[in-house]
Structure 1
Amino acid sequence: MSMAVVGLIVGMALGFAGYFGGFGAFLLVAALGAVGFVAGRLLEGDLEIGDFFRPRGGNGDGRRRPR
């Protein structure tokens, strides 16, 4: 399935949730969609849990480099 079709389906789901359930349902569907996306990426192996907990940049000790 192409990314355009996936985007169309997600947009339609968010639209239905917003129309029939209000803004709270819209946010719930968007949040659960994000969780599902991350879970799918984890299961496919494109993403690792450690990616969320590693410090960005630096020398690996968690401290920032001086400018």
Structure 2
Amino acid sequence: MNFTVLGLLSGIALGLAGAFGGFTAFLIVLVLGAVGLLAGLLADGKLDLSQLTGRGRR
């Protein structure tokens, strides 16, 4: 699944949450989607958190 399809599905999910669940549901879906994206990037090895933790620097 490429990022275009993933973005489309995320947009549809956010639109449905906003339409049927109100603004609070929209925010919950948005935050959980961002957490899922970060977890996926970390699992794929495309996100390096060593710069934030200070490890790897000498």
| Alignment TM-score, normalising by the size of structure 1 | 0.71
Displacement of 1:35 after TM fit?
0.3
Q: Which gives a bigger RCO, structure 1 or 2 (Cα 8 Å, sep 6+)? A: 2
Percent identity, aligned pairs only, is: 51
SS at match of 1:38: helix
Q: How many residues align?
A: 55
Q: What is aligned with 2:4?
A: 4
Cα distance in 2 for partners of 1:26, 1:17 equals: 5
Alignment of 1:1-67 (within 5 A): 1-54=1-54
Long gaps (5+) in structure 1: 55-59, 61-67
**Over the residues paired in the alignment, what is the CA RMSD in angstroms?**
1.5
Gaps of 5+ in 2: none
Greater helix proportion: 2
Compare CA radii of gyration and give the structure with the larger one: 1
